[in-house]
Amino acid sequence: MSFSEFDVTRRTRKGNFLNQIDYLIDCTPIEKAIAEHYSPTFDAAGRPAYSGLLLFKMLLTGIWHGGLSDESVEDMANANLHVMRFLGLSLEDDVPDHWYCLVSGHD
């Protein structure tokens, strides 16, 4: 565990909704189901593709927070430690930007 990961863990509330979802739901079957339909290794621009589970969790985050736009979900993932942890990202990871679906051809 990196120092930044330790700080993120220390600074996030254990009872947060997204932490509870992560604790209660095993995402392995969801990830396998997504991989049957979405498993690119690179996007259209040649960059490594983001995981289907990450994109699915970003979609859920937007829905659970009142139907946020892709741009707002991106902002939340960059600024909110609970959202970042739910998405499985560390402070060092890139967050898919709101243009990702358009550029990579995913709708």
As a whole number of angstroms, the distance between CA 32 and CA 53 comes to 9
For residue 71, pLDDT beyond 50: yes
Rounded CA-CA distance 46/32 in Å is 24
Please indicate whether residue 57 or residue 107 has the higher confidence score (pLDDT): 57
pTM: 0.77
CA nearest to 12, candidates 68, 92, 90: 90
Model confidence over 1-58: pLDDT tens digits? 565 665 556 656 666 788 888 889 999 999 999 999 887 777 677 777 888 999 999 9
The Cα angle at residue 88 between residues 86 and 14, in degrees rounded to 5: 40
